Structures are given as C-alpha cells and as structure tokens.
C-alpha cells in the first residue's frame, strides 16, 4: 500500500513538472538575455481597407474641400470625417488630387504623400495631414480568456499584443502551437508560433500581425478530451482520477 501511494505521488509530481514546462513562456530566454527580432512590419493599406484623412491649416476655408465630412447632429452640429475605401486596384479618389495609389502605404507614408501633393500643386501652403485607420481588425479565437475581434489602433501590433488584448491564454491553451492564419496573394497561409521559444517567436514572419489575421490557440489534450460527452474518455483528467480512486478503494479493501 505504501509503495502504491509513493508511486501515485511520484506520478502526480511528474505530471505537475510536465505541466509547468508546457505553460511557461520564453523558456529559452535567460534573465538579462536577448533575442533577435524580425524587422518591424507596420500595418500597410490593402484593398478594402478604410481610413480617414484630416487636412489642417491656418486657413480653415482653404483646406475645407479636402476634408470629406458630414454634419453630426448627435455631436451638437460637429463634423464627422467620412472614410475612404481602397478599391481593388489599390486606389482612392481624393478631392482635387484625383486618383491616388495608396496600396502598400503605411499611415505615415500616406500622410507624407498627400502633403507633398498639396504642396506641389500649391493647393495649401502649410498643410498638416492626419491619417487614421477606420476598420482594421484582427481576431483571436480558441483557448484565450476573451476571444473576439480587436481593432488595430496603432501602426504595428505583435502577437504578444494580441494575446494580451484577448486576456492571455487559458491554462488549457497550447503555448507551443499557436496558429496565425493570414491571406497572402489570394491564398490562406498558416504560421505556427511557439510561445515557449522566444527566439523562434520573435523571428517569425507572423510576430507582427496584419489586418484580418486570425490567431488560433489550440486546446491541450486534457481540454480536447473534456470536449467529448461528459468528458469521460481515456484522454480526460476526470477519467484518470476516477480510475485512481477506484484502484485505491480496491487495494484498501484487499489489504484489510
């Protein structure tokens, strides 16, 4: 009986160590250590993306034609900027400047491009151009605390930002097998990320997310087993706990 209890204790201890090894992030990163990071990838405009453009100047009347807006009754008569949508060829139609090819530009690129067009055409002498994303999003699904769609409100966003916004992985999420689905050149490409491996994670092409990316966190075997009817399968924790309890009961009765 004593040997059986010691064996069970050892098995539980080993299982605990194995669990700790699978849930700890950045296991290869020592205190004070460093890892290389893939070159920064800022969000770049694609067909279907929307954004607003606000042109400002000392002369408000001069820049008024360049600001597409409607009166917002709910805001006490203030103006709400209308969004431009990038067409399938990567263009927008900008007031007085005509067709502008914007596909592949960052917010800063587009701001500088419009400012240059305004100056070169002598439309405005001191333009300040502010570009803001309108509908750029990414999704996080699977074993995270708060799955859903999230807005991209800055020029670059990493997989770590995405996981943080989704409330972190649950204890049942597989840290070593996170998938990022990304549409590239008409196909859906899958990237696999390992949160336990800092070097691999930071050098992945999917470390920096793009708009419309889908991050999927796979459940571990325990959670997958619990997804069956009543969770009562040989893969579930409840099954093994029930079996261990049954064996202990039999051993106790036999050794009396």
Separation CA 216–CA 173 (nearest Å): 10
The verdict on 116 and 140 lying in the same domain is: no
CB 171 within 8 A of CB 184: no
The verdict on 32 and 60 lying in the same domain is: no
φ, ψ at 73 (rounded to 5°):
-65, -40
What pTM value is reported for the model? 0.74
Note the pLDDT tens digit of each residue in 205-254: 999 999 999 999 999 887 776 665 455 555 555 666 666 666 666 666 55
Could you tell me the two tokens for 127? 């333009």
In a domain? residue 226: no
Out of 98, 116, 133, pick the residue that ends a domain: 133
The verdict on 76 and 142 lying in the same domain is: no
Separation CA 58–CA 40 (nearest Å): 35
- What range defines the domain where residue 103 resides? 50-133
The verdict on 152 and 193 lying in the same domain is: yes
Q: Strand 91-94 vs strand 78-81: parallel, antiparallel, or unpaired?
A: unpaired
CB 149 within 8 A of CB 214: no
Note the pLDDT tens digit of each residue in 112-126: 999 999 999 999 999
Please name the residue that has the structure tokens 């600001």. Answer: 67
The number of domains in the chain is: 2
Please tell me which residue, 158 or 77, carries the higher pLDDT value.
Answer: 158
**Confidence label for 8 from pLDDT (cuts 50, 70 and 90):** very low
Note the pLDDT tens digit of each residue in 31-52: 888 888 899 999 999 999 999 9
């Amino acid at each position: 009986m004593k040997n059986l209890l010691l064996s069970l204790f050892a098995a539980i201890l080993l299982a605990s160590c194995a669990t700790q090894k699978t849930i700890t992030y950045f296991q290869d990163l020592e205190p004070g250590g460093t890892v290389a990071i893939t070159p920064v990838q800022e969000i770049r405009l694609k067909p279907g993306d929307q954004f607003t453009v606000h042109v400002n100047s000392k002369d408000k009347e001069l820049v008024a034609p360049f600001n597409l807006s409607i009166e917002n009754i709910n805001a006490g008569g203030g103006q709400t900027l209308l969004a431009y949508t990038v067409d399938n060829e990567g263009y927008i139609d900008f007031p007085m400047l005509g067709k502008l090819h914007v596909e592949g530009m960052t917010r800063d690129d587009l701001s500088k491009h419009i400012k240059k067009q305004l100056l070169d055409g002598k439309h405005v002498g001191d333009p300040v151009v502010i570009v803001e994303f309108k509908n750029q999003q990414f999704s996080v699904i699977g074993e995270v605390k708060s799955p859903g769609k999230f807005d991209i409100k800055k020029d670059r966003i990493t997989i770590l930002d995405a996981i943080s916004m989704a409330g972190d992985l649950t204890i049942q999420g597989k840290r070593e097998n996170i998938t990022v689905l990304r549409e590239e050149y008409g196909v859906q490409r899958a990237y696999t990320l390992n949160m336990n491996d800092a070097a691999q994670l930071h050098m992945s092409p999917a470390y920096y997310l793009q708009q419309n990316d889908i991050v999927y966190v796979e459940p571990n075997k325990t959670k997958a087993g619990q997804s069956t009817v009543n969770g009562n399968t040989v893969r579930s924790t409840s099954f093994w706990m029930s079996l261990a309890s049954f064996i202990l009961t039999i051993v106790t009765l036999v050794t009396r």
